[in-house]
Amino acid sequence: MSELTGPSQAVLVTTRAVIEDKFSTKKITKDNIITIAWHMNTSSSPQLYAISVGKTRYSYKMISSSRVFAVNFMPYDLKEKTIKCGRVSGEHIDKFREAGLTKIEADKIDCLLIGEALGYLECEVINEIEAGDHVIFIGHVLRSELKEQDHRLYHITGDKFTTTKRLES
């Protein structure tokens, strides 16, 4: 189908949740990253943004619990780090450390942002829609920031990616 629909921008979605430690009775705060190519702007008033997350993913459980997520728009030159974040579960590892990404606290939600991102959306979940083996989380955008215009990362299929070329007017 991607031959018909074309490339989709690959983003890193971050989330934070308080979870029960499996080895003790303590509750711990856990941060995670998931690579997503199915996301979209859904409304301009109020500003809403939707992401689709597989029900078996660790990030699904975290977003369901915390009710927040941040969308981090990644540059093309961080393709390998973006792929790495999509290949392993964050349940037992720190994806920020494993991928070498910088942690920045979000302003409006209890969540981390990625320092290397071109920009961010900080979202609070207002609705969930069942979509087969995925859930579409609809978030109210509480804050957005574009840090820089650069070549964004677009997923074609499998390990194939492309980018945009900025045209001068």
Q: Please report whether residue 123 resides in a domain.
A: yes
How far are the Cα atoms of 58, 60, 79, 83, 155 from residue 90, in angstroms, in the given order?
A: 7, 11, 18, 13, 21
Q: Please report whether residue 61 resides in a domain.
A: yes
Per-residue pLDDT tens over the stretch 92-106: 899 999 999 999 999
3-state secondary structure of 42: strand
Per-residue pLDDT tens over the stretch 140-155: 999 999 998 888 888 8
Cβ neighbours around 49 below 10 Å, total: 20
**How far apart are the C-alpha atoms of 10 and 8, rounded to whole Å?**
6
What CATH number should be reported for the domain holding residue 69?
A: 2.30.110.10
Q: Please report whether residue 168 resides in a domain.
A: no
Q: Please report whether residue 32 resides in a domain.
A: yes
Burial of 117 (0-12, 13-18, 19+ CB in 10 A): buried
Q: Please report whether residue 169 resides in a domain.
A: no
Q: Is the pLDDT of residue 136 over 70?
A: yes
Domain of 123 in residue numbering reads as 2-163
Count of structural domains within the chain? 1
Q: What is the pLDDT of residue 9?
A: 85
Q: Please report whether residue 157 resides in a domain.
A: yes
Cβ atoms of residues 14 and 72 within 8 Å: yes
Per-residue pLDDT tens over the stretch 76-89: 999 999 989 989 89
Mean per-residue pLDDT of the chain: 90
How far are the Cα atoms of 17, 64, 89, 121 from residue 109, in angstroms, in the given order?
A: 11, 15, 23, 10
Please tell me whether the overall predicted TM-score, pTM, comes out greater than 0.85 for this model: yes
**How far apart are the C-alpha atoms of 79 and 58, rounded to whole Å?**
22
